[in-house]
Structure 1
Amino acid sequence: MGIIGWIVLGLIVGAIAKLIMPGKDPGGIIVTMLLGVVGAFLGGLLGQWIFGIGLNTFWSLQTWIVAIVGSLIVLGIYRVIVGRKAVKG
């Protein structure tokens, strides 16, 4: 999958992750969608390392599943890190 495909997938998956994990995010939907790009990459790496499945093609169901899982992980970590900084500051 090309770099444009990664970016588009990540933006869409970031929005899906936001729908799955509703709540206030520091940075709003734009940051959430950018985290989706990072999450899609992370999901592809984790899927490849753990299960032997990565990001195949844009329309593959396994691509979307590992990208969504990666985005949820990144969004959760982001909320924990930024949430702690907001409480301390």
Structure 2
Amino acid sequence: MPGTLGIIGWIIIGGLAGWIASKVMKTDAEQGVLLNIIVGIVGAFIGGFLLSLLGVDTDGAGLIFTFLTAIAGACLLIFGVKALTGGRSRV
């Protein structure tokens, strides 16, 4: 996520990305606002890391690209946690 967003931007984008990812992955009833924020922010880091491994330059990519990266990373995070716990997780 770009450094120009600041902490409030990270929280807002993370919360929205985590919420959308939880809807997509059908875990919304299990997650609260705080967990959505955490999943979204961690998802943004996961998505950014994976894109950098693929050679995609994410620096200065823009707010929409950052948001979509956070959603994709959050979905991967939820999928991974569900796979490791057999679907019994709170994420």
Instruction: With the length of structure 1 as denominator, give the TM-score of the two structures.
Output: 0.69
Change over 3 Å in CA distance of 1:57–1:33 after alignment to 2:
same
Question: Quick check: 1:42–1:70 contact (8 Å CA) kept in 2?
Answer: yes
Q: 1:6 aligns with which of 2, 6, 10?
A: 10
**Hey, what's the Cα distance between the residues in 1 that align with 2:59 and 2:20?**
17
Q: Does 1:35 align with 2:39?
A: yes
Identity %: 28
Could you tell me whether the CA contact under 8 Å between 1:14 and 1:71 is conserved in 2? yes
Specify the alignment match of 2:81 in structure 1: 78
Letter of the structure 2 residue corresponding to residue 71 of structure 1? A
What is the letter of the counterpart of residue 24 of structure 2? I
User: What SS is found at the alignment partner of 2:86?
Assistant: helix
> Over residues 3-51 of structure 1, what are the superposed CA-to-partner deviations in whole Å (9 max), with x where a residue is unaligned?
513333222200110111114775x223243122111111111112214
Segments of 5+ residues of structure 2 without an aligned counterpart are none
**CA-atom RMSD in angstroms:** 2.5
Looking at structure 1, the residues matched to 23 and 62 of structure 2 have their Cα atoms a distance apart, in angstroms, of 20
- Partners of 2:17 and 2:71 within 8 A in 1: yes
Q: Alignment partner of 2:35: what SS?
A: helix
Aligned CA distance change for structure 1 residues 55 and 41 (closer, same or farther; 3 Å)? farther
- 2: CA distance, partners of 1:64 / 1:50: 18
The question of whether the paired residues in 2 share the 8 Å contact of 1:55 and 1:63 is answered with no
